Structure 1
Amino acid sequence: MKREYKNNDIFHVIEDWAPKHLAYDWDNVGLQIGSYNKAVKKVMITLDVLESVVDEAIEKKADLIIAHHPLLFNPVKRINLDTPQGRTIHKLLSHQITVYAAHTNLDAANGGVNDMLCDLLGIQSRKNLIEVKSGNLYKIAVYVPISHADDVRNAMSEAGAGHIGDYSHCTFQAKGKGTFKPLEGTNPYIGTKGELEFVDEVKIETIAQEERLTTIVNQLIAAHPYEEVAYDIFHLKNEGEAFGIGRIGTLSATMKLRDLCEHVKTTLEVPNMRVIGDLDKQVRKIAILGGSGEKYIHLARQNGADVYITGDMSFHVAQDAWQMGLQVIDAGHYIEKVMKQATKLFLEKELDNDLIEIITSETSTEPFQFI
């Protein structure tokens, strides 16, 4: 039974959800500052790592900060303690607080930031707006004595094997006869040293996403009674789970653009927003991309979106959207704050809450005021 968590245990849980390979090449995700191996008892979730957020983490005695936006994005050439970034880094190191970022990989992940926004706004029947990649799939076949077949199958399934569409625990098994001869220095679970053994075994086959492969193999070995576990891994040509940036789907009913704006303001707690288009236009098909999404206006239009919800629209791109007849709600970059509570709930579900406390930052990192 686990007695404590280390930072790396938390990282693995996050990366099972939002694999690092989903991040864009220009991004900097993963460990930012700190240690993989330090014990952690309190985690704080934040959108950004500003000095004020670190002050909050110090006050609340957090050991680990999980952020959406990376603290270290561009190369650091110097750490000047007279600058906000320098002071932030100094405080983190002085108080041994680790920082980890899940950015565009959490945007692309199924159940990630864009799905969080869709869930809150009631956007249904959604698909990816921009395909990022399809995960590699592998088949795992393991040979296990009949007495332990259920244990091994369940261990693999609970580790994430056997997910096909909306089904979990998908496996195939066939009975057969296994043979082996224990040699000197062995301690066989079944059989006698120097004698050929015949054992009734089950071959269990299942499927696994690449990012879960190591965890699944570790769990099957832990559940298997043999000293040396026989298993095969095959790279499949089947397409795996599709990942993408942004989502496009539909509302449960048509509404006016002005009513959708009010819905977004209320649901996402946005005090003011910029809008492009006819406020009385009836809309239903919605594209959404948290953060800066202006370069995808043409994809939103090509996919038949009535409205594109995003942030950080610049003047000339806004004119382009207006001229092509695409309604746009610029709700700002800060709507990505939805990741704080959702990530907290995810970690609480995956971790032993008797060993670790998960909190969300109460510090606002929204730089804009509206007057």
Structure 2
Amino acid sequence: MKVANGYEFVAMLEEIAPKKLAMENDPIGLQIGDLSKKVRKVMFTLDVLEEVVEEAVRKNVDMIIAHHPFLFRPLKKIDMTTTEGRMIRKLIKHDIIVYAAHTNLDIADGGVNDILAKLLALQNTTWIVPTHTENYMKIAVYVPEDSVEHVRLALMQNGAGKLGAEYEECSFRTYGTGEFKPSKKANPTIGEKGELTSVGEVKLEAIVPHSVADKVLKAVRIAHPYEEPAIDLIHLQNLKEQKGLGRIGTLKKEKSIEAFIEDLKGALAIDHVRFIGDPSKIVKKVAIIGGDGNKFIHDVKRSGADVYVTGDIYYHTGHDLLAIDLPTIDAGHNIEKVMKSYLKNVFEERAENLKYEAEFIVSEVHTDPFTFL
């Protein structure tokens, strides 16, 4: 077993919620600490509050992974008499790393909005607001037959071969004969200098996201036995992948808004919601955006949703929702707490596969500031 450092756990998080997915100006990533530190215990939290920091100190946590960035706005000073200042001092004193995955975790496949949609039993879901387009390329590499599996693994382990959300390690092989004549200065793996050589080869093809193409190329060159491997990299015009914020999907059976709200409260483990609109309407198509959903009301209306589930709806936005006739459930920002157990489960599985010696826990601090009396 290996004790991993902060960088290695960040790499794990990057596979789940790549930083490239984050919205502009979202202060994700390292907030406090030294990522070269060895990490034996990781705690997941929605918010980094003083009580959460005290919990981390008490439980000997090495790294906090939060959904909401602790340092959301640039600091002008660190006053140790303030709550923020005390938190920073405690985190530094106890050498605790704080790392945030915010809108990138909202947008990512399997992330916050997918978890919420799954808990509400939504089917045939797609995003509401497009935020990111990924162009694809095709890589074709010519490999001697006895080295195909080694090169294939280099492709797949570095981001190639993923087709859609449900298929991975996709590739195609074509068998043929490769010919080459090494110069007198060459250092051929197969064949003799100055002589034409014929070798049974496989053309190994896979698709590659443009963002990882350089990484895949480097890995293939390292894994390939030839001094000068033949590699084609082709831009694909017919394959793009879009990602976006929020999810919209359908219920298995239509129901009244009142019945839907009762089901929602049970699914999200909450006691109260705020509602805007006509409660007598029937629901079949549901849109959900975790967190603050005020600025997206017109996107949701255009999506054809029967009801919109989100948090932190402003007073005047409520009037706008009535004006456009979009029934809306404000379930509170705190529903995003579902990310804690999700990340814990994914990290445990991946750490076991990588043979990392680490413990993963979720914060037990209730961070919702609102109490209904």
Asked if TM exceeds 0.5, the reply is yes
Once the two structures are superposed, residues 100-137 of structure 1 have per-residue CA deviations (whole angstroms, 9 ceiling, x without a partner) of: 11111111111111001001110111111101121121
Aligned equivalents of 1:246, 1:107: Cα separation in 2: 8
State the 1:183 CA deviation.
6.9
Unaligned residue ranges in structure 1 (runs of 5+): none
Aligned equivalents of 2:190, 2:329: Cα separation in 1: 66
2:40 paired with 1:41: yes
Once the two structures are superposed, residues 238-280 of structure 1 have per-residue CA deviations (whole angstroms, 9 ceiling, x without a partner) of: 4422110011111111111111111111111112110112223
State the 1:194 CA deviation.
7.5
State the 1:215 CA deviation.
5.2
2:19 paired with 1:17: no
| Structure 2 partner of 1:148 | 147
2:135 paired with 1:136: yes
| Structure 2 partner of 1:370 | 372
| Structure 1 partner of 2:303 | 303
Q: Give the alignment partner of residue 358 of structure 2, picking from 356, 359, 362.
A: 356
Aligned equivalents of 2:4, 2:212: Cα separation in 1: 20
TM-score, scaled to structure 1: 0.91
1:46-125 to 2 correspondence within 5 Å?
Answer: 46-125=45-124
What amino acid maps onto 1:128 in structure 2? Answer: W
1:99-248 to 2 correspondence within 5 Å?
Answer: 99-165=98-164, 166-174=166-174, 175-179=176-180, 181=182, 189-191=189-191, 198-213=198-213, 216-217=216-217, 219-221=219-221, 223-226=223-226, 229-248=229-248
Aligned equivalents of 1:301, 1:135: Cα separation in 2: 26
Q: Is the deviation greater in 144-153 or in 109-118? A: 144-153
SS of aligned partner of 2:246: strand
Aligned equivalents of 2:351, 2:218: Cα separation in 1: 18
Once the two structures are superposed, residues 159-217 of structure 1 have per-residue CA deviations (whole angstroms, 9 ceiling, x without a partner) of: 4321223433222333331536387796x644567776543322212111234445544
Q: 1:133 to 1:354 in 2, by over 3 A?
A: closer
What amino acid maps onto 1:367 in structure 2? Answer: P
State the 1:223 CA deviation.
4.2
Unaligned residue ranges in structure 2 (runs of 5+): none
Contact 1:178 1:201 in 2 (8 A): no
Contact 1:162 1:169 in 2 (8 A): yes
| Structure 2 partner of 1:338 | 338
SS of aligned partner of 1:355: coil
Q: 1:94 to 1:237 in 2, by over 3 A?
A: farther
Identity of aligned residues (%): 45
Q: 1:223 to 1:345 in 2, by over 3 A?
A: farther
Contact 1:16 1:212 in 2 (8 A): no
TM-score, scaled to structure 2: 0.91
Contact 2:122 2:251 in 1 (8 A): yes
| Structure 1 partner of 2:328 | 328
Contact 1:19 1:211 in 2 (8 A): no
Aligned equivalents of 1:255, 1:104: Cα separation in 2: 31
| Structure 2 partner of 1:287 | 287
Once the two structures are superposed, residues 136-164 of structure 1 have per-residue CA deviations (whole angstroms, 9 ceiling, x without a partner) of: 21222223211011232244234432122
Q: 1:85 to 1:213 in 2, by over 3 A?
A: farther
Aligned equivalents of 1:46, 1:248: Cα separation in 2: 26
State the 1:351 CA deviation.
2.1
State the superposition RMSD in angstroms.
Answer: 2.3
What amino acid maps onto 1:78 in structure 2? Answer: K
